[in-house]
Structure 1
Amino acid sequence: MPSSPSSSAQAARDALAVRLTHLRKDAGLSGKELSARCGWHPAKTTRIQKGEAAPADADIRAWCAACGADDQTEDLIATARAVDSMYMEWRRLHRNGMRKVQEDFSTLHENATVCRVYASNGVPGFFQTPGYATALMRRITDFQGTPDDVADAVAARIARSRFLYEGNHRFVVLLEEWVLRSRIGDAEVMADQLAHLLSVMPLASVSLCVIPLVAPRVIWPLEAFYLFDDRHVVVETLTAEINVRQPREIADYAMAFRELGRMAVYGSGARQLIESAIAALE
């Protein structure tokens, strides 16, 4: 299993640091000489080469100019920006509100044939009702202190549910039973959300399974993650969205999904757990 959900980002940052280091060495420059040409302290060069500091666009331009490698500038800048996008803090993503992130997720779903989801902290967005989404996103906005565009963000999130009915899309979802029992909004909102889960279960595009609270664990509870086909994993932590694209790590998440699935019940077993959660609200 991945040792850290941000390990892909760090590995890519290290690879960029190696490229910059090789560029300096190929130019026959010491770290101090390159620093002098760039006009910054040698400690900055050291941090960049160790992958401890992410170089800005201007830093890369100065580095390439100092090494006489202007032809590599744009490629290195594009690489650095890709690394930066792997680990994105929610407050940064939500700096102008939450709607844009919801629209970006819609694009991911549109381009994926199979989306496998392990949901340990809430109902996946494409299954959410307006009431549940509003209660959840209102709390997230308050917690993060980011601009309030909850109404627009909810509309964008709910629009994602169209992929359950349109195109050749398939959704395989593993829910921890805790998600069914954790009340988001009031009892009426939660009951409506659970009833909606029952209504989408018969869809041909949906495979919804539940991991019972009492199931013997063959793998520990993990952060929620979305596996888009076998090419991209999005991991959701408290503070950040992690984008994993390394094949080795994608394979790890796929294996984790299979292991989690071994503990789950589906069909009538999953329906009974949802109905039990509804009954508990009464």
Structure 2
Amino acid sequence: MSTDFQQAREALGVRLRELRASHPGGRLTGTQLAERLGWTQSKVSKLENGRQTATADDLTMWAEATGRPDSIGELTARLKALETHHRSWRRQLAAGHRPVQDVHNEAQANSSVLRAWESSWVVGVLQTPDYARAIFTRFTELHQSTRDIEDAVRSRMKRQEGLYDSGRRYHIIMWEAVLHARICPPSVLAAQLDRLLGVIGLDTVELGIVPLEAPVKIPPAGGFWIYDDRQVVVETWHAELWLDDTDSVSTHLKVWKTLRESAVFGADAQRVINKVRRKLE
């Protein structure tokens, strides 16, 4: 979780505490407010201390229970600003995977130089439809989200139009483990590997593979995207982090450049992919 996000969440908690303390009828205790709201006292405490992220409904109820319905707009604006950086999957996937894919399509379409590191699966912009379908199916099961898999696949495939835009450059590095991961049937993985072999010939794409046996200067941890060296998108199991502060961007750029030193490209990358492809046969 980013420091900026946590600071914003704590600031929101301070504001909630102020509203409770300034109730027009007299200061409310945390226990009294919890009783009014039908919540546990621990939820009130967690929200005020920045240990839990409020929902829009939580904030509306809080403002009304503290006699300050006029503060609803302010509170929801704070929440929206907070969620600009921290986007939980629970909230994002409430409407399904398609809207999330549309957001990423727009972000990538507005960038000219895109850098990616991935250690778990093939990056979305290089996926085949069947491989993408398998990924969405697994995550739909994990998050128990709306099952709009086919719409999500179509949206992800639309993103690939950028690969043929001469004004855009993709610098993608993946760990060899990605090529082995059986997140889908062997036949689907084989077709996906064939797709990667073909991508290496595109002049808009630099695809590097970090071999399993290659020495690395830092652990090949979770994946991320860097857009025009101004914004980073990091995906975790519970949320996405959209970071645009200088420290976050520079740190991820340094990580990306360090991992790139261990990668192979061109014919060498093709040999690594072909080696895994032959094992599938």
Fold similarity call, TM over 0.5:
yes
1:35 is displaced (CA, Å) by: 3.8
Kept in 2, the 8 Å contact 1:91–1:144? The answer is yes
2 CA distance for matches of 1:59 and 1:219? 46
Higher relative contact order (CA 8 A, sep 6+): 1
SS of the equivalent of 1:122 reads coil
3-state SS, counterpart of residue 95 of structure 1: helix
Q: How many Å apart are 1:131 and its aligned residue?
A: 1.3
Among 4, 9, 13, the residue aligned to 2:5: 9
Deviation at 1:58, TM superposition (A): 2.5
> What is residue 118 of structure 1 aligned with on the other side?
117
- Output the CA distance in 1 between the equivalents of 2:9 and 2:125: 32
Deviation of the 1:264 alpha carbon: 1.1
Q: Which moved more, 1:153-162 or 1:246-255?
A: 246-255
Percent identity between matched residues is 32
> Quick check: 1:35–1:41 contact (8 Å CA) kept in 2?
no
Aligned pair in 2 of structure 1 residues 139, 51: CA closer, same or farther (>3 Å)? Answer: closer
TM-score (ref. length: structure 2): 0.82
Would you say the 8 A contact 1:8–1:245 is kept in 2? no
8 Å CA contact 1:132, 1:185 repeated in 2: yes
Q: What is the distance in 1 between the residues matched to 2:13 and 2:104?
A: 30
The DSSP-based 3-state class of the residue aligned with 2:224 is strand
Residue in 1 that maps onto 2:280? 281
The residue number in structure 2 matching 1:103 is 102
Q: Specify the SS of the correspondent of 2:95.
A: coil
Letter in 2 for 1:219: I
Residue 184 of structure 1 deviates from its aligned partner by 3.3
Residues 63 and 244 from structure 1, CA distance in 2 versus in 1: closer, same or farther, beyond 3 angstroms? farther
Aligned to 2:60: 58
- The one-letter amino acid of 1:9's match is F
In structure 2, stretches of 5+ residues that fail to align are 36-40
Instruction: Output aligned runs, 1:1-282, within 5 Å.
Output: 5-17=1-13, 35=28, 40=33, 47-54=46-53, 56-58=58-60, 61=63, 74=73, 76-166=75-165, 168-282=167-281
Tell me the CA shift for residue 217 of structure 1.
Answer: 2.2
Following the alignment from structure 1 to structure 2, what is the Cα–Cα distance between the partners of residues 95 and 76? 21
The 1:103–1:210 alpha-carbon spacing in structure 2 relative to 1, beyond 3 Å, is same
| Separation in structure 2 between the aligned mates of residue 53 and residue 130 of structure 1, nearest angstrom | 37
SS of equivalent residue, structure 2 residue 206: strand
CA contact (8 A) 1:34 1:63 kept: no
Greater Cα shift, 106-115 or 8-17: 8-17
Check conservation: 2:190, 2:277, Cα contact below 8 A.
Answer: yes
CA distance 1:34–1:118, change in 2 (3 Å): farther
The change in CA–CA distance for 1:91 and 1:16 in structure 2 (over 3 A counts) is closer
Deviation at 1:243, TM superposition (A): 2.0
Letter in 2 for 1:58: T
TM-score, scaled to structure 1: 0.82
- The more displaced of 11-20 and 55-64 is 55-64
Q: Structure 2 CA distance, aligned partners of 1:93 and 1:147?
A: 11
Cα deviation for residue 166 of structure 1 reads: 2.4
Question: Residues 58 and 273 of structure 1: is their aligned pair in 2 closer, same or farther, counting only changes over 3 Å?
Answer: same
**Structure 1 residue 278 displacement after superposition:** 0.9
* Deviation at residue 75 of structure 1 after TM alignment: 5.0
Distance in 2 between residues matched to 1:51 and 1:239, nearest whole Å: 17
SS at match of 1:40: helix
Q: Which string of whole-angstrom CA distances, capped at 9 and with x for unpartnered residues, describes residues 167-203 of structure 1?
A: 6221111100000111332222111111111111121
Paired AA for residue 139 in structure 2: I
Q: Deviations over 1:205-226 (max 9, x none)?
A: 1111111101122011211111
* Change beyond 3 A, Cα 1:45–1:99: closer
SS in 2 for 1:94: helix
The Cα shift of 1:234 comes to: 1.4
Distance 1:34 1:264, change over 3 A: farther
Contact 2:33 2:65 in 1 (8 A): no
**C-alpha spacing 1:47/1:237, structure 2 compared with 1 (3 Å):** closer
